[in-house]
Amino acid sequence: MKIFTTRFEIEKYLLLRRNAGIAIGFVPTMGALHQGHLSLISLAGQRNDEIVCSIFVNPTQFNDPKDLEKYPRTIEADIKLLEQAGCDVLFNPPVNEIYDGNDQWHLDIGETEFLLEGKFRPGHYQGVTQVVYKLFSIVKPDEAFFGQKDYQQFLVISKMVNHFNMPVKLVMCPIMREADGLAMSSRNVHLNTNDRLHSLVLSRTLNWIKENFRINDIPRLKKEAERMIGAEEDVELDYFEIADGETLHPATESSKKIVALVAAKVGKTRLIDNIMLRP
């Protein structure tokens, strides 16, 4: 695997590859890699000639400086995992390679950035669009792979790509879970044994909603889900929503896609998860 830390070097290398007609599949991450990330790498490899992964803990998407500080960083283990997974190129830049200190710009992608996660993490999606815009303009991938785990993020990035007519195809990949249902996340390392047990209420509730889903029953289901999560010890619910998969407003009968989304603090760790109810 080739490892680049500067824009100049990776751009030079990828220009040659692109000119040779190589299709580039890109997987942006913040590192502390797990099977969820590796499933994106694997799909990128099935559909492209060359896999590029980035590891960059993006400071502008953290609204809480403590969260940024304690974000897990495991670059050596990550490099091993990427090599085993057949990744061709890793881009692992320092912060000043991406930001020169003058990045006050903000892309208006409409209300999506203010709903759900946006309410609880002000500015988060501004940071996400900034960094993904920059990474896309450096890597210029044919396809980019994102997890359904961050469902709203996928919508936000889709809006950005449409807005700029960026020549990249976005691919949404399924959520990878631990055997007991917990959605894999780099943040799960912060869960202690007690938290780990209580965290299961999220996937359990989402599954219950899926099994019992009836379009006319949404208010009752939502209430019951809130009750189930609220009753779990050491779990503090931020939101539970049964939403239209395109607008993220409460779902209606005419919603083409419907998704249930949840965010909660389990102990001190904030987790998100979701499940498609009408794919």
CB of 55 to ligand AMP, least distance (A): 8
| Cα–Cα dist 214/2, whole Å | 50
Per-residue string for binding with ligand AMP, 175-204, x by CB under 6 A?
A: xx------xxxx------------------
Q: Which is nearer to ligand AMP, 24 or 183 (CB)?
A: 183
Does 149 sit near ligand AMP (CB under 6 A)? yes
- Following DSSP, what letter does each residue of 17-68 receive, concatenated? HHHTT--EEEEEE-SS--HHHHHHHHHHHHH-SEEEEEE---GGG-SSHHHH
Cβ proximity of 262 and 232 under 8 Å:
no
Q: Does 260 bind ligand AMP (CB under 6 A)?
A: no
- Enumerate residues 28-87 that contact ligand AMP by CB under 6 A: 29-30, 36-37, 39-40
Among 71-79, 104-112, 118-126, 144-152, the segment contacting ligand AMP (CB under 6 A):
144-152
Comparing CB distances to ligand AMP, the nearer of 159 and 221 is: 159
Report the nearest approach of ligand AMP to the CB of residue 19 (Å). Answer: 28
Q: Long-range contacts made by residues 74-83, C-beta under 8 angstroms, separation at least 24? A: 74/31, 74/32, 74/33, 75/31, 77/33, 78/31, 78/32, 78/33, 79/1, 79/3, 81/33, 81/38, 82/1, 82/33, 82/41, 82/53, 83/1
Strands, DSSP E only, in 222-268? 235-244, 258-266
Q: Is 146 in the site for ligand AMP (CB under 6 A)?
A: yes
Does the annotation mark 37 as catalytic?
yes
173 touches ligand AMP by CB under 6 A: yes
Q: Which residues are identified as catalytic?
A: 37
Contact residues toward ligand AMP (CB under 6 A) are: 29-30, 36-37, 39-40, 146-147, 149-150, 173, 175-176, 183-186
